[in-house]
Structures are given as structure tokens and as C-alpha cells.
Amino acid sequence: MSLVNVNVGVLGHVDSGKTTLCKTMSTVGSTAAFDSNPQSKERGITLDLGFSSFVLADKWNITLVDCPGHASLIRTVIGGAQIMDLMLLILDINKGFQIQAAECLILAQITCSHLVVVLNKVDVIPEEQRKAKVGEPDCVCAYIFL
């Protein structure tokens, strides 16, 4: 049985947890995955697209396209958007909606028909404060602690 490949772009503001989320979800990483570039390690930021993957329900090969979050690297993100079937917009719940997240939202609106907003770093909010901080969702919402 062959798997259907789905390319999922992981976008958001710098330090929203994109690469960490990709690393946690993935079972296979390319040589460019998880900021393996020496310059990325030195600067502590994603400089280029990273590719990693995992298989879902023995039906889909999910390829995560980890995108840089710095505004100066938006051209790299635009290049990667051409292959994305779905985008995950990662928001740091503690910092809220930031500038590069807005740029990614516009990019998603132009290039992709499917967008999922992920509230990341919910686990650092004390449990008794989470409902007040996150609010009551109008849709199905799940907190994922990896």
C-alpha cells in the first residue's frame, strides 16, 4: 500500500516553538532538519527550510516544512509555501499574535487553502490560569503536551 504525501508548512513568529514542535512530532529528519546548519546552531535560529516527516494512520506520510520566523527570511518562507498542502500557524500563547505571524497568515491566505492555528507553549501556563489565558474556544480545541 502506498502512502499519500501531505506537505505541512510550519510557520510563525521567531521563537514560537516551530522547530521544537517539528522535532517532537517527527520520526525522520532530513540532513537540513532541526537547524542542523552550523550557522543556525551558532545564531540559535532557523535560517532555511527544514524537512522532517512521520507516518499517520498508515495512510499518510506527513512532511513537515519547518520555516524560518525572522522577517528578513520571508523570501525563504514564500519559496517553501509553493509546496505546502496545509499550513500550521504556530502562536506562542504567552506572546500572542506577533508581526511575523500576521505575515504568515497573509501568505497562507494567498497560497494555501487549509490553515490550522496552533496555540503553543500552553504547558508553561499554570494549570489554574489556563482557562483564563486561553479562553473558551468556539471550535474543537485540544491541548497537546508532547
Residues marked as catalytic: 15, 18-19, 70
Is 118 in contact with 89 (CB distance < 8 Å)? yes
Q: How far apart are CA 92 and CA 98, in angstroms?
A: 9
Distances (CA, A) of 51 to 11, 13, 30, 54: 13, 18, 6, 11
Backbone angles phi, psi at 70, to 5 degrees: -75, 140
Q: Phi-psi region for residue 11, left (φ > 0), alpha (ψ -120 to 50) or beta?
A: beta
Task: Please state, in angstroms and rounded to a whole number, the distance separating the CA atoms of residues 44 and 15.
Answer: 10
